[in-house]
C-alpha cells in the first residue's frame, strides 16, 4: 500500500517560497513520517534553514536505506515522509491532524518531532485516537521530563534519556564544582521551562542559589536574541553582586547565540562567563566564533553519544557532490548547501573540519538512527507475526496499528545485531518495558560531562574533552578532577582543579537576593512529636519589623535544644516519649511583634514545606520552650494563654511573668528579678557599710570613677571587660550553671558545609571566625575561612545554655508523665493531654533535675513555677595585669525568698508594686505620683523592682543609675545596670 504524494499541502504559516512543507524522501509500502523543524522560527514564520534538523532527516534516510539493504525484509519497503514545522507547535498540530486524517488509508509511524513542545502536541492528538488507528511515535531528541507520563502520552516512546537525568547530572556537577550562585538562560518552551524549574528545585536543596532566570523567546531572530543576551550579560556580570556562573538550557540556536553574544561583548565584560550548557551546545557550529576563547573552562552535558563514522562520511560526501543533489528528494538540503557556501571561505570541496565548523555532527543523529532501527525492527517483527511465511501477505496492511504500539512496548532490540552500519552502537539495547523511556542499562553511563579545553587536538573545531560520567541508578557523577581545566581571564593561563573559577558569590560582595530567598526563620528537627522553641538567633533590626545581625550566643541556644533532645536518653531523672521528639525552632529576632506573627502562622498554617505548601503540626506539639528575654516570653505567653499550651522559659526574669492569673501555663527556670533585687540590695548595703575596705583593694584609678556598677545577671560574666573601660570594682551577680562538657565538645566540633541542617550555623560561624566560607552569599569580609574551620578552643558558651537544656528535660519529663496518665501511652497526643494542661504544668513543677552538676536532683521550680537558682556574686578585678571576674561567693538568699513566695499564690507582681523612695521615683517614674511612704526596706525594694522592670523591657544597651550615697561631701553613684535583653 502506498500513499499519494502530498506536496505543499494546506499547512499554514509563512511558507518559504518554493520549499514544500512535506516531502516524500523515499517511497515504500509503508511509511515512517518524520516531523522536524527544518527552518528556524523567526517572528512566527519560517526563517533560515536549521542544518541540524536537516542532518537528522538525512540520518534517518541513511539508516533506513542501510537497514533495508542489509536485512531480510522481503517484499516490503519502508518509505520516509518528512514534515517541517518551523518550530511551531501550531504547525506540529496541523501535521498531526493531517496524518490522522490520512490514517484510514495509510500506514505510517511517527518519528519525532524534533522539539518537545511539538512532540507533546502531536502525541496528545494521535494518542487520543481509537486504538485501531493509534500510531506509534518515537522521539529521538525530545527529552522533556513530563513526556514520560504514559497516561498522557499513550502512543509515545523515546530513545533519548529524559531531562530529569540531565538535570540531576547538572546539579551533581554544580555540587562537585562548588557552584552556589548562578543564573539560568533558557528557551521559552517546554524543554527550557521544565528543565530550569526542576534544576532550581534540585539545586535549592543543595543550597545552590539560582539568582536570575532569563527566558528567551524562541521566535526572536538570531540577531535579536544576541542583542538581548549581550544586554543581559553586561548587566548581570557588572552589578554589585556579579554573576559569573551561567547555565544555558535550550536548543542549539540558544547555545549558539549565547556564545556569539559573549564573543561580541568580550571587551565590555569584567570576565568571561563560566558556563554549563545543556546537550544541544554540542551541536553548535563554530564558524565565526573564536571557539575556545568564549567556552574555555566551561562544561557541556550530553547523553552518551557515539559518533557514527559511516554516517559522518555520508554527510560529508553530500557536500562534496552538491551538484548531484539539485533534484534531491530532500529539497531542504539545498538550503543547507547555500548556508554552507555563504559562510565558508571555501565552497564545494571543503574539508571535513570545515564542514564540522558549520555543523558539528548533531548529538541527536545517534538517537535518530537508534529510533529508526527500533521502528524498522518493530515493523519487521509485527509483519513476521502476522504473515508467517506468506511473502505477499495483504492482511498485514489491515492490521490494527495498536499491534505496533504493543510490539514496541515490549520489544528488545540489541543494536549490536546491526553491526554492518552501526559498529559504534554495539552493546546498546533498547527495551521500553511498556514505559515511555527506554530502561537504563545497568552500569552504563547515563550522561556525559565535557569540559572545553584549549588545543585539545589542535583543531579549532573540537575543544571538548570528556571529563565525567553520570549514572542515574546511583545518582553519582564520576568526575576526572585532574583532567578538568579552567583558564584565567585575560591571558588564559591554565588553572588547576582547585583553582578553577566557581559559580559563587564574589568576594567582597553581598548576594542579597539569595539571602532573602532563604529567610530561615525556622529550623525543623524532624520527629513524631515536637517541642516548639523560641530562640533569639538574630537581634532586632534597625528598620521596623526587621531582623538584625546574628546575636552572640543565639546559635548556642539552638544547638543546646538539639543537643538536649539527643542527650535526654542518658540524663538521669529524665523521661521521654517512646517516639522520637523533634523541634521547631523559631527565631524571635528579639522582636515581640515578629515572634507573635511567626507563632500565629505556626498555629494557622503549620510549617512550610520545600514546595511552598504548609503542613499542620500543632496537634503534635507537646509544649513550648520560650523564651530568653522577658518581652518575648510575654508575647508568646499571651498567645499560649489563649491556646492553652504549656511554656517553659529559660531566661526571662521580669516579675510580671510570675502572675499566674495572666499566664497560667507559664513556667521559667530563671529566677524572677525579685530574688535578684533582694540580693543586689543586700550587696549595696554591704558596700555602703564597708566602703573603705573596698577601696584599698582596688586600683587607685578608682578615685577617678564616678560609678560603681552593680550589675544584674544580664551582665553576669559576659566577656565585655576588654571592650568597656573602667569597670574595675563592678559587682555582678549571675546564676551561672556549669556547662556540660559534652555540649562544649559538641560546639567545638561544629562544622558548616553550606548544607547544614541548622540554617543559622554558617552565618554564626562566619561571624565568630570573622571570615566567609566559599559557598557564602555574604562575602563582605574578604578573608576566607578554611573549609574545615571550627570554633576556637576558648569559645565562651552562652551562660543560658544549661537552663535551655534543663528546660528541654523538664518539658520532656512532664509531657511523658502526662501522656502516660491522660492518653495511656507516650507515643501520640490525645485530646485529654490538651484538656488537662494544668496537670501538665503541675507535672513539670514536680520535675527534679541535677542542674548544678552536684550529682543530686533538686527542685527546679518553686510552687509558682518560677526558678530557684542560686546566685553567684562576682567582682571585676585586675589580677596580674588582667581584668577579670572574680568569684566572691554564692548567695543562699534564695532559700529565704523561696520560702517567702512559696505559698503566696496571690502575689500578682506588677500591680502590687508601690513606689517607695521619692527621689528614686522622680527619676524613674515621673508621671507616677505615688504616696510617699516611710523609707522602709520593703518600699525601697519595691521601687527598685519597679526600676528593674523598666530595665527589663528596654532593649537598648545600658540603662543605669540611681542611688546616691553621700559620703564625705562627695557624690558616688552606685548604679544598677541592665544590659539590655
Ligand atoms: C561596569 O561597571 C563599572 C562600575 O561599576 C563601570 O565603570 C563600567 O563602565 C561598567 N561597564 C559596562 C560595560 O557597563
Ligand atoms: C561523491 O564524491 C565522492 C568523492 O568525493 C565519491 O566517492 C562519491 O562516489 C560521490 N557520490 C556521489 C553520490 O556522487
Ligand atoms: C570544592 O570544595 C571541596 C571542599 O568542600 C574541595 O575539596 C574541592 O576540591 C572543591 N572543588 C573545586 C573544584 O575546587
Which pTM does this prediction carry?
A: 0.66
- Distance spanning both ends of the chain, measured CA to CA: 89
pLDDT of 47 strictly over 60? yes
Q: Convert the pLDDT of each residue in 93-138 to its tens digit.
A: 888 888 777 766 555 555 555 555 667 777 877 878 888 778 888 8
Query: Strand 30-36 vs strand 581-587: parallel, antiparallel, or unpaired?
Result: unpaired
**Could you tell me if the CB of 481 is within 6 A of ligand 3?**
no
The pLDDT confidence band at residue 461, using thresholds 50, 70 and 90, is low
Angle between helices 190-205 and 116-127 (to 10 degrees): 110
Instruction: Give the pLDDT score at 177.
Output: 92
Q: What is the distance of C-alpha 449 from the center of its chain?
A: 23
Going from the Cα of 178 to the center of ligand 3, the distance in angstroms, rounded, reads 6
Furthest CA-CA distance within the chain = 131
Instruction: Give the pLDDT score at 227.
Output: 93
Instruction: Give the pLDDT score at 459.
Output: 53
Going from the Cα of 312 to the center of ligand 2, the distance in angstroms, rounded, reads 14
Q: Ligand 1: which residue has its CA nearest to atom 6?
A: 238
Dist CA 625 CA 580 (whole Å): 17
Ligand nearest to the CA of 266: 1
Going from the Cα of 162 to the center of ligand 3, the distance in angstroms, rounded, reads 29
The pLDDT confidence band at residue 422, using thresholds 50, 70 and 90, is low
Q: Ligand 3: which residue has its CA nearest to atom 8?
A: 498
Going from the Cα of 850 to the center of ligand 2, the distance in angstroms, rounded, reads 94
* Residues sharing a CB contact under 8 Å with residue 97, sequence separation 6 or more, in sequence order: 125
Q: What secondary structure does DSSP assign to 332-343, as a single string? A: THHHHHHHHHHH
Give the length of the chain. 981
- Which residue in 752, 746, 754 sits closest to 804, CA to CA? 746
Taking residues 782-787, report their average pLDDT. 84
DSSP structural state of residue 344: -
DSSP structural state of residue 174: H
DSSP structural state of residue 716: T
Q: How many CA atoms lie within 13 A of 684 on its CB side?
A: 24
Q: What is the distance of C-alpha 909 from the center of its chain?
A: 47
pLDDT of 341 strictly over 80? no
Q: Where are the beta strands (DSSP E) in 142-180?
A: 156-158
Ligand nearest to the CA of 349: 2
Dist CA 266 CA 346 (whole Å): 28
**Could you tell me if the CB of 221 is within 6 A of ligand 3?**
no
Instruction: Give the pLDDT score at 756.
Output: 81
Give residue 249's region: left, alpha or beta (phi > 0; psi -120 to 50): beta
pLDDT of 185 strictly over 90? yes
Query: Which is more confident, 704 or 331?
Result: 331
Instruction: Give the pLDDT score at 591.
Output: 93
Q: Ligand 1: which residue has its CA nearest to atom 3?
A: 238
Nearest-atom index, ligand 2, CA of 317: 1
Query: Which is more confident, 737 or 974?
Result: 737
pLDDT of 944 strictly over 60? no
Counting ligand 1 atoms within 8 A of each CB, the residue from 230, 233, 236, 238 with the most, and so the one to mutate, is 238
Taking residues 921-938, report their average pLDDT. 30
Tell me how many degrees the CA angle 690-691-693 measures, rounded to the nearest 5: 70
* Residues sharing a CB contact under 8 Å with residue 641, sequence separation 6 or more, in sequence order: 662, 663, 664, 665, 666
At 824 the three-state DSSP class reads coil
Instruction: Give the pLDDT score at 936.
Output: 34
The pLDDT confidence band at residue 511, using thresholds 50, 70 and 90, is confident
**Could you tell me if the CB of 500 is within 6 A of ligand 3?**
yes
Dist CA 161 CA 104 (whole Å): 33
Going from the Cα of 474 to the center of ligand 1, the distance in angstroms, rounded, reads 45
Q: What secondary structure does DSSP assign to 682-708, as a single string? A: HHHHHHHHTHHHHHHHS-GGGGG-SEE
**Could you tell me if the CB of 313 is within 6 A of ligand 2?**
no
Nearest-atom index, ligand 1, CA of 235: 14
Dist CA 565 CA 556 (whole Å): 14
Going from the Cα of 14 to the center of ligand 2, the distance in angstroms, rounded, reads 35
Tell me how many degrees the CA angle 646-650-653 measures, rounded to the nearest 5: 100
Dist CA 127 CA 129 (whole Å): 6
Cβ count near 29 (within 10 Å): 16
- Confirm if 684 and 974 have CB atoms less than 8 A apart: yes
Going from the Cα of 489 to the center of ligand 1, the distance in angstroms, rounded, reads 17
Lowest mean pLDDT among 461-465, 634-638, 867-871: 461-465
**Could you tell me if the CB of 496 is within 6 A of ligand 3?**
no
The pLDDT confidence band at residue 581, using thresholds 50, 70 and 90, is very high
**Could you tell me if the CB of 324 is within 6 A of ligand 2?**
yes
Instruction: Give the pLDDT score at 648.
Output: 97
Going from the Cα of 258 to the center of ligand 1, the distance in angstroms, rounded, reads 21
Helices (H), 770-917: 801-823, 831-835, 837-846, 893-902
Going from the Cα of 445 to the center of ligand 1, the distance in angstroms, rounded, reads 44
Lowest mean pLDDT among 151-155, 323-327, 369-373, 429-433: 323-327
Instruction: Give the pLDDT score at 714.
Output: 63
**Could you tell me if the CB of 178 is within 6 A of ligand 3?**
yes
Instruction: Give the pLDDT score at 132.
Output: 79
**Could you tell me if the CB of 317 is within 6 A of ligand 2?**
yes
DSSP structural state of residue 825: S
Instruction: Give the pLDDT score at 865.
Output: 93
**Could you tell me if the CB of 868 is within 6 A of ligand 3?**
no
The pLDDT confidence band at residue 942, using thresholds 50, 70 and 90, is very low
Taking residues 968-977, report their average pLDDT. 34
Q: Which residues line ligand 1 (CB under 6 A)?
A: 234, 238, 268
**Could you tell me if the CB of 240 is within 6 A of ligand 2?**
no
Going from the Cα of 317 to the center of ligand 2, the distance in angstroms, rounded, reads 6
Radius of gyration of the chain (CA): 38
Q: Which residues pair with residue 959 across a beta bridge? A: 978
* Residues sharing a CB contact under 8 Å with residue 390, sequence separation 6 or more, in sequence order: none
DSSP structural state of residue 161: P
pLDDT of 910 strictly over 70? no
Q: Convert the pLDDT of each residue in 729-750 to its tens digit.
A: 777 777 778 888 999 999 999 9
Q: Ligand 2: which residue has its CA nearest to atom 8?
A: 317
Cβ count near 686 (within 10 Å): 13
Q: Ligand 2: which residue has its CA nearest to atom 7?
A: 317
Instruction: Give the pLDDT score at 712.
Output: 67
Instruction: Give the pLDDT score at 974.
Output: 38
Cβ count near 751 (within 10 Å): 12
Q: Where are the beta strands (DSSP E) in 905-969?
A: 958-967
Q: How many CA atoms lie within 13 A of 217 on its CB side?
A: 11
**Could you tell me if the CB of 835 is within 6 A of ligand 3?**
no
Going from the Cα of 733 to the center of ligand 1, the distance in angstroms, rounded, reads 57
Dist CA 649 CA 594 (whole Å): 18
- Which residue in 337, 297, 376, 312 sits closest to 72, CA to CA? 376
Going from the Cα of 896 to the center of ligand 1, the distance in angstroms, rounded, reads 72
At 643 the three-state DSSP class reads helix
**Could you tell me if the CB of 349 is within 6 A of ligand 2?**
no
- Which residue in 228, 225, 232 sits closest to 184, CA to CA? 232
Q: What is the per-residue burial (b if ≥16 Cβ within 10 Å, else e) of 687-713?
A: beeeeeeeeeebeeeeeebebbbbbbb
Q: What is the distance of C-alpha 93 from the center of its chain?
A: 38
Percentage of residues in the chain having pLDDT higher than 90: 25
Q: What secondary structure does DSSP assign to 279-305, as a single string? A: GGGGG---TTS-HHHHHTT-EEEE---
**Could you tell me if the CB of 616 is within 6 A of ligand 2?**
no
- Confirm if 517 and 194 have CB atoms less than 8 A apart: no
Taking residues 609-617, report their average pLDDT. 83
Q: Convert the pLDDT of each residue in 207-263 to its tens digit.
A: 888 989 999 998 888 889 999 999 999 989 988 888 999 999 988 889 889 988 998
Q: What is the mean pLDDT of the chain?
A: 77
Lowest mean pLDDT among 17-21, 99-103, 796-800: 17-21
Counting ligand 3 atoms within 8 A of each CB, the residue from 498, 755, 762, 772 with the most, and so the one to mutate, is 498
Going from the Cα of 238 to the center of ligand 1, the distance in angstroms, rounded, reads 6
Query: Which is more confident, 342 or 905?
Result: 342
Ligand nearest to the CA of 317: 2
Q: Convert the pLDDT of each residue in 370-417 to its tens digit.
A: 888 888 888 888 888 888 777 677 777 777 778 888 888 888 888 777
* Residues sharing a CB contact under 8 Å with residue 784, sequence separation 6 or more, in sequence order: 507, 771, 772, 773, 774
Helix, strand, coil proportions of the chain in percent (round to 5)?
40, 20, 40
**Could you tell me if the CB of 640 is within 6 A of ligand 3?**
no
Q: Which residues pair with residue 275 across a beta bridge? A: 246
Ligand nearest to the CA of 240: 1
Instruction: Give the pLDDT score at 498.
Output: 83
Q: Ligand 3: which residue has its CA nearest to atom 14?
A: 498
Nearest-atom index, ligand 1, CA of 268: 13
- Confirm if 227 and 212 have CB atoms less than 8 A apart: no
Percentage of residues in the chain having pLDDT higher than 70: 76
Lowest mean pLDDT among 453-467, 475-489, 552-566, 679-693: 679-693
Cβ count near 183 (within 10 Å): 22
Cis peptide before 113 (omega within 30 of 0): yes
Spell out the SS3 assignment of 210-251: EEEEEEECCCCCHHHHHHHHHHHHHHHHCCCCCCCEEEEECC
**Could you tell me if the CB of 320 is within 6 A of ligand 2?**
yes
Instruction: Give the pLDDT score at 199.
Output: 93
Cβ count near 127 (within 10 Å): 20
Lowest mean pLDDT among 95-99, 213-217, 299-303, 425-429: 425-429
Query: Strand 274-277 vs strand 464-471: parallel, antiparallel, or unpaired?
Result: unpaired
Dist CA 263 CA 833 (whole Å): 69
Going from the Cα of 224 to the center of ligand 1, the distance in angstroms, rounded, reads 23
Instruction: Give the pLDDT score at 971.
Output: 29
Ligand nearest to the CA of 230: 1
Instruction: Give the pLDDT score at 905.
Output: 35
Q: Ligand 2: which residue has its CA nearest to atom 6?
A: 317
Q: Convert the pLDDT of each residue in 855-866 to its tens digit.
A: 888 899 999 999
Counting ligand 3 atoms within 8 A of each CB, the residue from 175, 178, 208 with the most, and so the one to mutate, is 178
Tell me how many degrees the CA angle 835-837-841 measures, rounded to the nearest 5: 165
DSSP structural state of residue 956: S
Q: Which residues pair with residue 586 across a beta bridge? A: 522, 534
Q: Ligand 1: which residue has its CA nearest to atom 9?
A: 268
**Could you tell me if the CB of 661 is within 6 A of ligand 2?**
no
Ligand nearest to the CA of 321: 2
Going from the Cα of 309 to the center of ligand 2, the distance in angstroms, rounded, reads 16
Q: What secondary structure does DSSP assign to 380-413, as a single string? A: HHHHHHHHTT-SS-GGGGGS-THHHHHHHHH-EE
Q: Convert the pLDDT of each residue in 145-160 to its tens digit.
A: 888 888 888 888 888 8
Nearest-atom index, ligand 3, CA of 498: 14
Going from the Cα of 498 to the center of ligand 3, the distance in angstroms, rounded, reads 6
CA distances to 82, 267, 325, 753 from 329, in Å: 10, 46, 8, 60
* Residues sharing a CB contact under 8 Å with residue 128, sequence separation 6 or more, in sequence order: 154
Nearest-atom index, ligand 1, CA of 238: 1
Give me the numbers of helices (H) and strands (E) for the chain, helices first please. Answer: 27, 38
Q: What is the per-residue burial (b if ≥16 Cβ within 10 Å, else e) of 289-298?
A: bebbbbbbbb
Going from the Cα of 493 to the center of ligand 3, the distance in angstroms, rounded, reads 20
Going from the Cα of 182 to the center of ligand 3, the distance in angstroms, rounded, reads 17
Query: Strand 447-452 vs strand 299-302: parallel, antiparallel, or unpaired?
Result: antiparallel
Instruction: Give the pLDDT score at 917.
Output: 32
Q: What are phi and psi of 529, to 5 degrees?
A: -115, 160
**Could you tell me if the CB of 954 is within 6 A of ligand 3?**
no
CA distances to 45, 257, 898 from 220, in Å: 10, 11, 80
Amino acid at each position: 500500500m502506498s500513499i499519494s504524494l502530498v506536496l505543499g499541502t494546506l499547512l499554514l504559516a509563512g511558507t518559504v517560497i518554493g520549499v514544500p512543507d512535506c516531502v516524500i524522501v523515499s517511497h515504500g509500502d509503508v511509511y515512517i513520517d518524520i516531523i522536524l523543524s527544518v527552518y528556524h522560527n523567526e517572528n512566527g514564520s519560517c526563517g533560515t534553514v536549521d542544518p541540524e534538523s536537516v542532518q537528522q532527516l538525512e540520518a534517518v534516510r541513511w539508516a533506513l536505506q542501510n537497514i533495508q539493504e542489509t536485512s531480510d525484509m522481503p517484499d516490503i519497503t519502508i518509505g520516509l515522509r518528512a514534515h517541517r514545522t518551523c518550530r511551531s507547535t501550531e504547525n506540529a498540530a496541523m501535521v498531526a491532524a493531517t496524518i490522522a486524517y490520512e490514517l484510514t488509508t495509510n500506514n505510517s509511524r511517527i518519528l519525532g518531532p524534533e522539539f518537545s513542545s511539538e512532540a507533546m502536541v502531536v502525541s496528545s492528538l494521535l494518542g487520543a485516537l481509537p486504538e485501531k488507528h493509534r500510531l506509534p511515535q518515537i522521539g529521538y531528541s525530545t527529552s522533556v521530563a513530563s513526556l514520560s507520563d504514559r497516561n498522557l502520552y499513550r502512543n509515545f516512546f523515546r530513545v533519548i534519556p529524559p531531562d530529569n537525568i540531565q538535570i540531576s547530572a547538572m546539579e551533581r556537577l554544580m555540587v562537585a564544582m562548588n557552584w552556589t550562585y548562578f543564573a539560568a538562560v533558557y528557551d521559552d518552551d517546554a524543554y527550557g521551562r521544565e528543565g530550569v524549574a526542576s534544576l532550581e528545585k534540585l539545586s535549592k536543596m543543595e543550597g545552590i542559589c539560582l539568582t536570575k532566570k532569563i527566558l528567551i523567546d524562541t521566535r526572536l531572530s538570531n540577531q535579536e536574541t544576541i542583542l538581548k543576551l549581550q544586554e543581559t550579560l553586561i548587566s548581570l556580570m557588572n552589578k554589585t553582586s556579579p554573576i559569573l556562573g551561567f547555565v544555558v538550557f535550550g536548543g542549539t540556536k540558544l547555545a549558539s547565540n549565547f556564545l556569539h553574544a559573549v564573543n561580541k561583548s568580550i571587551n565590555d565584560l569584567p570576565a568571561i562567563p563560566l558556563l554549563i550548557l545543556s546537550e544541544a551546545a554540542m551541536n553548535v557550529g563554530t564558524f565565526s566564533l573564536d571557539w575556545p576563547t568564549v567556552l574555555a573552562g566551561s562544561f557541556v552535558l550530553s547523553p552518551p553519544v557515539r559518533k557514527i563514522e559511516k554516517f559522518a562520511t555520508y554527510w560529508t560526501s553530500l557536500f562534496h557532490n552538491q551538484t548531484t543533489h539539485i533534484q534531491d528528494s530532500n529539497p531542504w538540503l539545498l538550503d543547507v548547501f547555500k548556508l554552507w557556501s555563504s559562510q565558508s571561505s571555501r565552497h564545494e570541496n571543503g574539508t571535513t573540519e570545515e564542514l564540522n565548523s558549520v555543523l558539528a555532527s548533531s548529538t541527536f543523529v545517534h538517537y535518530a538512527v537508534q529510533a529508526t532501527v527500533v521502528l524498522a525492527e518493530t515493523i519487521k517483527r509485527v509483519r513476521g507475526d502476522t504473515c508467517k511465511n506468506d511473502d505477499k501477505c495483504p492482511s498485514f496492511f489491515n492490521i490494527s496499528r495498536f499491534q505496533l504500539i504493543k510490539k514496541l512496548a515490549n520489544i528488545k532490540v540489541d543494536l549490536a545485531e546491526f553491526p554492518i552500519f552501526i559498529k559504534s552502537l554495539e552493546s546498546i539495547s533498547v527495551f521500553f518495558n511498556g514505559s515511555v523511556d527506554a530502561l537504563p542499562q545497568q552500569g552504563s553511563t547515563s550522561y556525559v560531562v565535557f569540559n572545553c579545553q584549549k588545543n585539545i587536538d589542535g583543531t579549532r573545531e573540537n575543544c571538548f574533552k570528556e571529563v565525567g560520567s553520570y549514572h542515574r541508578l546511583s545518582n553519582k557523577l564520576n568526575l576526572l578532577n585532574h583532567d578538568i581545566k579552567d583558564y584565567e581571564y585575560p591571558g588564559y593561563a591554565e588553572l588547576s582543579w582547585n583553582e578553577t573559577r566557581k559559580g559563587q558569590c564574589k568576594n567582597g560582595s553581598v548576594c542579597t537576593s539569595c539571602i532573602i530567598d532563604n529567610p530561615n526563620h525556622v529550623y525543623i528537627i524532624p520527629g513524631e512529636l515536637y517541642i516548639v522553641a523560641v530562640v533569639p538567633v538574630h537581634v532586632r533590626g534597625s528598620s521596623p519589623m526587621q531582623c538584625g545581625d546574628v546575636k552572640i550566643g543565639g546559635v548556642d541556644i539552638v544547638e543546646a535544644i538539639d543537643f538536649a533532645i539527643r542527650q535526654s536518653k542518658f540524663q538521669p531523672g529524665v523521661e521521654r516519649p517512646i517516639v522520637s521528639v523533634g523541634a521547631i525552632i523559631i527565631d524571635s529576632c528579639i522582636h515581640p511583634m515578629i515572634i507573635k506573627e511567626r507563632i500565629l502562622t505556626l498555629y494557622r498554617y503549620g510549617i512550610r514545606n520545600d514546595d511552598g505548601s504548609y503542613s499542620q503540626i500543632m496537634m503534635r506539639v507537646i509544649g513550648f520552650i520560650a523564651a530568653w528575654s522577658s518581652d518575648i516570653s510575654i508575647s508568646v505567653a499571651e498567645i499560649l494563654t489563649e491556646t492553652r499550651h504549656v511554656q517553659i522559659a529559660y531566661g526571662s526574669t521580669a516579675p510580671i511573668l510570675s502572675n499566674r492569673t495572666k499566664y497560667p501555663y507559664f513556667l521559667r527556670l530563671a529566677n524572677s528579678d525579685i530574688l535578684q533585687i533582694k540580693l543586689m540590695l543586700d550587696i549595696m548595703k554591704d558596700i555602703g557599710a564597708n566602703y573603705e575596705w573596698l577601696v584599698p583593694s582596688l586600683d587607685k584609678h578608682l578615685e577617678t570613677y564616678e560609678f560603681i556598677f552593680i550589675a544584674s545577671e544580664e551582665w553576669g560574666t559576659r566577656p565585655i571587660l576588654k571592650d568597656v573601660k573602667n569597670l574595675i570594682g563592678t559587682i555582678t551577680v549571675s546564676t551561672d550553671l556549669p556547662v556540660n562538657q559534652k555540649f562544649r565538645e559538641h560546639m567545638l566540633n561544629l562544622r558548616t558545609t553550606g548544607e547544614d541542617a541548622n540554617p543559622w550555623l554558617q552565618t554564626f560561624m562566619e561571624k565568630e571566625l570573622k571570615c566567609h566560607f566559599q559557598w557564602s552569599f555574604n562575602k563582605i569580609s574578604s578573608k576566607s575561612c578554611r573549609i574545615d574551620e571550627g570554633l576556637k578552643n576558648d569559645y565562651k558558651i552562652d551562660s543560658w545554655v544549661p537552663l535551655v537544656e534543663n528546660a528541654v528535660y523538664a518539658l520532656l519529663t512532664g509531657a511523658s508523665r502526662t501522656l502516660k496518665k491522660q492518653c495511656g501511652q507516650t507515643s501520640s497526643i490525645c485530646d485529654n493531654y490538651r484538656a488537662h494542661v494544668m496537670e501538665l504544668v503541675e507535672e513539670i513543677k514536680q520535675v527534679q533535675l541535677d542542674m548544678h552538676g552536684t550529682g543530686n536532683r533538686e527542685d527546679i521550680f518553686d510552687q509558682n513555677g518560677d526558678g530557684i537558682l542560686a546566685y553567684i556574686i562576682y567582682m571585676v578585678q585586675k589580677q596580674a595585669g588582667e581584668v577579670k571576674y572574680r568569684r566572691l561567693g554564692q548567695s543562699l538568699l534564695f532559700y529565704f525568698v523561696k520560702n517567702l513566695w512559696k505559698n503566696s499564690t496571690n502575689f500578682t507582681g506588677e500591680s502590687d508594686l508601690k513606689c517607695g523612695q521619692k527621689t528614686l521615683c522622680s527619676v524613674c517614674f515621673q508621671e507616677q505620683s505615688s504616696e510617699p511612704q516611710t523609707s522602709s526596706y520593703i518600699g525601697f525594694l519595691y521601687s527598685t523592682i519597679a526600676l528593674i522592670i523598666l530595665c527589663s523591657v528596654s532593649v537598648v544597651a545600658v540603662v543605669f543609675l540611681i542611688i546616691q550615697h553621700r559620703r564625705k561631701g562627695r557624690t558616688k553613684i552606685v548604679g544598677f545596670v541592665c544590659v539590655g535583653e
